[in-house]
Amino acid sequence: MIRVENLKKTLTGTEVLRDVSLRVEKGEFLALIGGSGSGKSVLLKHIAGLMQPDSGRIWIDDEDLGSLRGRKLEMIRRRYGFVFQSGALFDSMTVYDNLAFPLREKTKLSESEIKEKIVRELEQVELHGVESKYPAQLSGGMVKRTALARALIMDPEIIFFDEPTTGLDPIIADAMLKLFGRCQQRLNLTGIIVSHRIPQIFSIAQKVAMLHEGAIVSAPCENGTIQTDNRILKQFVEGAIEGPVRYE
C-alpha cells in the first residue's frame, strides 16, 4: 500500500507540489493525470524515492520512505519496478544484458537460470528475437516492452509507469496500455501510471488522480469511465476549453 501525506515540493522557486495526499491500496492501479508540467513525474519520483520532499511523508506499507537511508532504502527500491518515459535502457548493453544486469548484481541465480528467466519475461511482454540487439536498434514500442520486461524481472510488488506511451503511434500506444494492464492484473501489482492517454487509460486503472495546481483531485474508475462530479476533473477528461479552469 502506498500512502502520500501532505507532500510539498518547490523547484527553482515554483511550488510544484502544494499539498498532495494520495492513497493506493495493495493490488490497485492508479492513473495519475494532469496538465503538462503539473508535477506528475515529480510526484512519481518522490514516491519512488528518487527525490526528497520539502515536507510531507510517503509510506510504503509501514515504512516511512523519508526516514530510510542506505541499505534500507535499497531494499524498498528492490520492491519497485519503474518504466521510464524514455525506457532508460543502458545503451551500452544488449537487451539481454539489460535484463540480466539486475539479476547478476542482486541475485545468486546461475547464468542458465538467468537466461531462463529472461526468455520467460520477454515472452510475457510479447517480444521475440531481440536479445542480442542494442536499444538504439529497437523501435519505440520494442524499447517500452524491453523496459517493462526489465521492470518486471526482479518480481516487484509495486510498479510505476512514467508516461510510458509517449512517442508511440496511437495503435501501439493502446496495445502497450493493454499489455501494462494485463501484467499488473496477472501479477497483482500495486501500480501508478502517469499518462495522457485519456480515456484509454481508464480501462486499465481502478482509480484516477488528477494533479491540479499542486494538489490531488481523485475519483474511482469503473468499466473504462470515471465516476465523478468534480468539475475540474470532468473538464480535463472531456478536454473542454470552457470550464472552471482556463487553459491558454
Partner 1 sequence: MFVRLTLWLGGIGTFHIRRVGRSGIFLIESLACLLTPPIKWGRIARRIQFIGWQSTGLICLTGAFTGMVLALQGYNTLKRVGSEALLGPLVALSLIRELGPVLAALLVTGRAGSALTAEISIMRNNEQVDAMKLMGLNPLRYLVFPAMVAGVISLTILTWIFDVTGIFGGYLIGVKLLGLPSGTYFGEISRYLEMDDIVGGIYKSLSFGLIMTWICCYKGYYTGIGAEGASKATTQAVVTTSVFILIWDFFVTTVIF
Binding site for partner 1 (CB under 8 A): 45, 48, 50, 74-75, 77-78, 80, 82, 84-86, 88-91, 101-102, 105-106, 150, 154
Least CB distance to partner 1 at residue 45 (A): 8
Least CB distance to partner 1 at residue 169 (A): 22
Instruction: Give the whole-angstrom CA distance, residue 168 versus residue 75.
Output: 33
Residue number with CB closer to partner 1 (20 or 47):
47
DSSP secondary structure, 95-124, as one string = HHHHHHHHHHHH----HHHHHHHHHHHHHH
The grid coordinates listed for 112 are 542458465
Residue number with CB closer to partner 1 (155 or 222):
155
Cβ neighbours, 10 Å, residue 29: 22
The grid coordinates listed for 16 are 510544484
Least CB distance to partner 1 at residue 43 (A): 15
Residue number with CB closer to partner 1 (82 or 236):
82
Least CB distance to partner 1 at residue 230 (A): 32
Burial of residue 71, with CB atoms counted within 10 A of its CB: 0-12 exposed, 13-18 middle, 19 or more buried = exposed
Residue number with CB closer to partner 1 (65 or 89):
89
Residue number with CB closer to partner 1 (106 or 178):
106
The grid coordinates listed for 219 are 475519483
> Rounded to 10 degrees, what is the CA torsion of 52, 58, 64, 67?
10
Residue number with CB closer to partner 1 (91 or 113):
91
Least CB distance to partner 1 at residue 224 (A): 30
Least CB distance to partner 1 at residue 239 (A): 29
Going from the C-alpha of 118 to that of each of 106, 114, 149, 185, 242, the distances in angstroms are 15, 6, 8, 20, 49
